[in-house]
Structure 1
Amino acid sequence: MTTPHQQAEAALTAYGLAFPETDTGLGWAFTRVLRVKGRMFCIFGDKAEPEDALTITVKLPISFEMVQDLPFVRESRGWYRQHQWAIAHFGPDDDVLSELPTLKAWLRQSYCAVAPKKLGRLVEAGGPAG
């Protein structure tokens, strides 16, 4: 049986793969990533993360400052903060599925920030996965 956290990751992965020229892959040791043209736009997982937790890292050049006060957003440090990558963490008691609309919007923003301009404009204009 899958946990809500695993369901959320599966839903977000399916959503991200609907964007043009995306694929999945392994990140660092314990993470899974979504990529566009070989560039990561979403990272799932964290070191020693249990099945009933989920960490999601995305680039948010438009809303990075606004999301910092959300209860599930961890403080970004160093390179992540400098480059506006937000880290959302959902533990066993968090309702990650209720946040799917927000997380999908973040995934879209991150894709548009990382993708080649032509692909980003296509998605921003409501193209595939829009």
Structure 2
Amino acid sequence: MPTPHQQAEAELTTYALSLPETDLAPGWADTRYLRVRGKGFAVLGDKVQAHDALTITLKLPISYEMVQDLSFVRQGSPWYHQNKWAIAHFGPEDDILAELDTLKGWLRQSYVAMAPKALGRLLTESGA
């Protein structure tokens, strides 16, 4: 039986892959890399991550500053801050399933930020 974190990752991956022209590629170490036309918009996992944990890294140009006070958002290197990439980490004690809608919204925001403008416009115009 999958853990809530594995269940959340599967649901988030399915959602991300439903966005136009996305794919999933192996990242570095034990990470999975979500891409739109070969350009990364999210990284799932972290080095040596337990089955009851999940780390998600996304570009949040609109809400980056707002999310920094959330308990599950970690500080990254200055590069992450400068480029508005947020790192959300959910450990065994965190209810990741309660945050799925938020995380899907973040995936969408990251996708639009990294997708070619025509693809991003299709998504924002459709309201999907």
Q: TM-score range by the shorter chain?
A: over 0.9
Corresponding residue for residue 106 of structure 2: 106
Query: Partner amino acid for 1:81?
Result: H
- CA distance in 2 between counterparts of 1:59 and 1:8 reads 19
Shift of 1:114: 0.1
State the TM-score, normalizing by the size of structure 2.
Answer: 0.97
Shift of 1:126: 2.4
Corresponding residue for residue 125 of structure 1: 125
- CA distance in 2 between counterparts of 1:25 and 1:104 reads 19
Aligned residues: 128
Query: Partner amino acid for 2:113?
Result: A
Query: Partner amino acid for 1:7?
Result: Q
Query: Partner amino acid for 2:111?
Result: Y
Query: Partner amino acid for 2:48?
Result: A
Q: CA RMSD in A?
A: 0.8
Residue 66 of structure 2 corresponds to residue 51 of structure 1: no
Query: Partner amino acid for 2:32?
Result: R
Listed as ranges, the gaps of 5+ residues in structure 1 are none
Matches within 5 A, 1:64-83: 64-83=64-83
Provide the identity percentage.
66
**Moved runs in structure 1, 4+ residues, more than 6 A?**
none
Q: Deviations over 1:42-64 (max 9, x none)?
A: 10011111000000000000000
What SS does structure 1 have at the residue aligned with 2:30?
A: coil
Listed as ranges, the gaps of 5+ residues in structure 2 are none
